[in-house]
Structure 1
């Protein structure tokens, strides 16, 4: 990971810093979401509040179960250590819920306190969370690096005008 010219680094959580065994096919099936549709968008577009609440609860249960078993990915730990060695500000932006994110971070002693979840900002690929962090750090987006493992991470970084690294 090249940090030349980088003034702040934001990481995705699942698949980037920690392993994840979320079964998205099963999650979609459990809530009646088509396999080719984004789960969170599907839930947001539900009209019936009772069905929306049931779907959110089902997703939460999957996330909390996954959180209990999530372990540091060796590359993720190496990247975080490198950022910390370079004394750069560091944060996490994840589509996970706050509760599951907190469990993963605490269980693995991930030394990152600035965490934005789907409860804090629109979900990736929307750039809002990334831009909020850059603004908080008083940095230009192009001086920040977003590191992730999925196309939504790349799109969020591009939408924010940030550099990105796909792992």
Structure 2
């Protein structure tokens, strides 16, 4: 039996890119342009650069993010699922490693019923749990009643670092780190039923 049996979900926090919105960010190209080794966390890497190199790397990343934001679209079943959660009065928020500027473009181009959004400009980037904990405090909801939904291992790690439940959205191939998540969904339309069952 799950340790969360009979612990209802009272709020959902989402990752953004690859979870709610499409993203065509070419991380291999970004790494090449800023001389970041394959497999290294890009945001962690730039914190160790000298100030000039850091400014250059941040601008390279931002340029990529802004170009990506202009073509981002809602992923399949996201609009319907968010509408269902909104109708059920489930609090929702977004925590993303993306910049505030690019996030604003994506949100304005693809309106969704979520007003609370924290970017890397607002709080330390995932897997640091600070942004998730800030939202729990703002909502005044105990962390064990919250779910974080994302498509990458940093999302699972951030959720668990905050003592929240982690739901991995894996519409294509199931990654090797999927076993670390509390739940795995293959289609976004599965989410409202999952929340109702918890």
**Which bracket does the TM-score occupy, shorter chain normalised?**
over 0.9
Deviation of residue 74 (structure 1)? 1.4
Asked if 1:11 corresponds to 2:51, the answer is: no
Please give the alpha-carbon distance, in whole angstroms, between the structure 2 residues aligned to 1:127 and 1:85: 28
Contact in 2 for aligned 1:16/1:149 (Cα 8 Å): yes
Deviation of residue 77 (structure 1)? 2.3
TM-score after normalising by structure 2: 0.80
Please give the alpha-carbon distance, in whole angstroms, between the structure 2 residues aligned to 1:79 and 1:133: 21
**Which residue number in structure 2 is paired with residue 164 of structure 1?**
166
Q: Return structure 1 stretches of 4+ with deviation > 3 angstroms.
A: none
Deviation of residue 147 (structure 1)? 0.5
- Of 72-81 and 16-25, more deviation after overlay is shown by 72-81
Please give the alpha-carbon distance, in whole angstroms, between the structure 2 residues aligned to 1:154 and 1:79: 21
Please give the alpha-carbon distance, in whole angstroms, between the structure 1 residues aligned to 2:46 and 2:93: 27
Deviation of residue 151 (structure 1)? 0.3
Match of 1:50 among 52, 57, 77: 52
Match of 2:40 among 30, 37, 41: 37
What pairs with 1:86-101 in structure 2 (closer than 5 Å)?
86-101=88-103
**Residue ranges of structure 2 left out of the alignment (5+ in a row):** 1-6, 170-198
**Which residue number in structure 1 is paired with residue 29 of structure 2?**
26
Deviation of residue 91 (structure 1)? 0.4
**Residue ranges of structure 1 left out of the alignment (5+ in a row):** none
Asked if 1:113 corresponds to 2:115, the answer is: yes
**Which residue number in structure 1 is paired with residue 66 of structure 2?**
64
**Matched residue of 2:70: which SS?**
helix
Contact in 2 for aligned 1:17/1:75 (Cα 8 Å): no
- The total of aligned residue pairs comes to 163
Please give the alpha-carbon distance, in whole angstroms, between the structure 1 residues aligned to 2:126 and 2:82: 21
What pairs with 1:72-151 in structure 2 (closer than 5 Å)?
72-151=74-153
Deviation of residue 79 (structure 1)? 2.9
TM-score after normalising by structure 1: 0.95
Please give the alpha-carbon distance, in whole angstroms, between the structure 2 residues aligned to 1:149 and 1:96: 14
Deviation of residue 83 (structure 1)? 1.6
